[in-house]
A and B are shown apart, each in its own frame.
Chain A
Amino acid sequence: MKNNELERIASAACIDLTENEKKGLEEDMENILDWFSQLDKIDTKDVEPAFHPIDIKNEMREDVVEECLDNEDVFLNTENYEDGFFKGPSIGD
């Protein structure tokens, strides 16, 4: 991996890592990526990628109103809510 690559990935993935974790991960990822490289020798020219194991047809349900969670249930698992909204951090810098 190139310089600062690990920091770039951690930042994209939004995960704080300790210095110790960074060291361990760098080594693990190098080894794992090296192991992945065995796929390079497999000929996949003209092969379509399989995003799913089976062919799936999109089938819509009837467009009718169904029951959904009531407000009490929606906020059951958080303390950070107010006036029927979730509270979160600022999205600006």
Chain B
Amino acid sequence: MSASEFVTGEVDLEKFHKKLEKRIDGLVELGLIRPIDYEYSDKKDGKLNGLPFTLKDSICSKNDPTYAGSKILEGYKPPFDATVTKKIKDSGGTIFAKTHQDEFAFGTASTNCAFTTPKNPWDKERCCGGSSGGAAGLSAALDLPHINLGESTGGSISEPASFTGVVGLTPTYGLVSRYGLISFANSLDKIGPISRKVEDAALGLDIISGKDFKDQTTVKKETNYRKSISEDLSGMKIGLPTSYFDIAQDEVSEVVMNAVDDMRSLGAETEEIELEMTEAALPAYYIIAPAEASTNLAKYCGMRYGMEGEPDGNFRNYFSKIRGKGFGEEVKRRIMLGTFTRMAGYRDKYYLKALKVRKKIINDFKRAFKKVDVLAAPTAPMVAPKIEEVEEMAPVEQYKLDKLTAPINLAGMPQLSVPCGFHKKMPVGLHILGDHFQEEDILRAGHNYEKRRGKIDYPEA
């Protein structure tokens, strides 16, 4: 049963939640979740009929431990709900766990989590991707109806969805409120659903999207995404960015190209597209995101909440001591980088230069979307690597796992990763990219492809 069938079906909630509870220990063992005390919602008037949800560890829910994967926030219980959390609760959803992630979402494999490393249900030696690794792994492991909320800054929904063979939807920047999200980079963060089916992701987006005065960047958009997916693909124009297929491993590109053939057989037309700025996106992203993060993370200083000590002595010594102790290696690296690239004397060379490159990337995509409705490409250059391999990679090598997701995230445009086959017995993701606020198009393309592809046999977990 899918989440979408669950919300409209006759479900014995008591029996269902007993079944869910039996699965919790297994999910914890895989390093995917931190369960929270919960009572299932029996709000029959809600739209969600008690459907189980999880939240990435960086999304606040009132009185539930919310650590963003960091020791510096261990023990933190927000006294408020994020807007997305409130929307789920108001619609009759049941939040039963927080999902593990890279510390402050700084990572591409969830190997930077301060508490545990999520294991990929397809092969426990491999990573789930990052940073929403726990959420994506959960959708692969849990064969009961559910929706997870993840968050993407540079690919943190699509890439783990690809590595674990599930569906990940990153909405247009501003479509979903960020109020109550423990922020990474304000101009890049986007909350979005992760699930097993495209229709469930659309249902999730229907619940969480909309204008919110607590987040000034949100926009009003009245669309029923779930309804919009059913139209067929005849006449849809799909662009194939040649540079993306060149960057991905040949075997991965081949699997994705087969999926493109399937979409062609459903009536879509395809054409090759040149995106000139593909190579420049990753370094630009790794300048902009840490620059924003280094200011965002200034608030973790041993006061008001999170890790603290005896606040004696000079503030600079006290803050530096707590931050030195509370932050992990990658967080320190990114704060240092972000502080450096904004410093007087370097700001023009790095930070402003990257923002100009970002403008060129946005223009690059805008030009493409004048010719085609959506773009289709591999989500990630490879399948999920082994956890051990990731831990041995130099930082820049780890960053490169984001190579195909960073450009569209810098542009703030929507993207959907749909599982489309296997390489080395590990899932491969088809990435469908759309213009700003064209979620209907990418969901429609994904849903039609998914119907054509058929069922996936998920591993028993």
Contacts and interface: CB of A to CB of B under 8 A. Distances in A.
Nearest to B216: A58
Interface in A3-53: 5-6, 9-18, 21, 24-25, 28-29, 31-33, 35-36, 38-40, 42, 44, 47-53
A15 B412 contact: no
A13 to B, nearest CB: 4
A82 to B, nearest CB: 11
Contacts of A65: none
B76 A77 contact: yes
B8 interface: no
B44 to A, nearest CB: 27
Contact of B320 (A15, A38, A69, A91): A15
Nearest to A93: B314
Contact of B308 (A13, A56, A78): A78
A77 B412 contact: no
B227 interface: no
Contact of B343 (A12, A38, A40, A59): A12
B357 interface: yes
Given A39-B354, A51-B355, A89 B315 contact: yes
Contact of A9 (B216, B284, B339): B339
Interface residues of A, number: 55
A80 B320 CA distance: 18
A91 B305 CA distance: 19
Contacts of B343: 9, 12
A81 to B, nearest CB: 9
A73 interface: yes
Nearest to B174: A54
B412 A53 contact: yes
A5 B339 CA distance: 11
A15 B315 contact: no
A51 B289 CA distance: 11
Nearest to A6: B336
B332 interface: yes
Interface string B344-367: 000000101111111110100000
Interface string B435-461: 010000000000000000000000000
Nearest to A16: B324
Given A52-B187, A53-B412, A56-B174, A88 B362 contact: no
Chain B CB count within 10 A is highest, among A14, A21, A88, for: A14
B106 interface: no
Nearest to B354: A39
Given A14-B320, A31-B394, A89-B314, A53 B410 contact: yes
Contacts of B216: 56, 58-59
B429 to A, nearest CB: 22
Contacts of A25: 332-333, 336
Interface string B200-213: 00000000000001
Interface in B62-117: 75-77, 79-80
B13 interface: no
B357 A44 contact: yes
B332 A15 contact: yes
A76 B75 CA distance: 11
Contacts of B283: 35-36, 38-39
A28 B334 CA distance: 11
A31 B396 contact: yes
Interface in B180-227: 187-188, 213, 216-217
A53 B303 contact: no
A11 to B, nearest CB: 8
B315 A49 contact: no
Contact of B395 (A31, A48, A59, A76): A31
Contact of B355 (A13, A29, A50, A74): A50
B359 to A, nearest CB: 4
Contacts of B354: 39
B401 to A, nearest CB: 15
Nearest to A44: B356
Given A16-B323, A53-B410, 16 more contacts: A13-B294, A14-B301, A15-B332, A29-B333, A35-B396, A42-B360, A56-B216, A77-B75, A77-B305, A78-B304, A78-B305, A88-B311, A89-B312, A89-B319, A90-B313, A91-B315
24 contacts: A9-B336, A9-B340, A9-B343, A10-B320, A11-B316, A24-B329, A25-B333, A31-B394, A31-B396, A33-B340, A36-B287, A38-B280, A38-B283, A39-B353, A44-B353, A44-B359, A54-B172, A54-B436, A69-B79, A69-B80, A78-B305, A89-B317, A89-B319, A92-B314
Closest 3 CB pairs of A and B: A53-B412, A16-B324, A49-B355
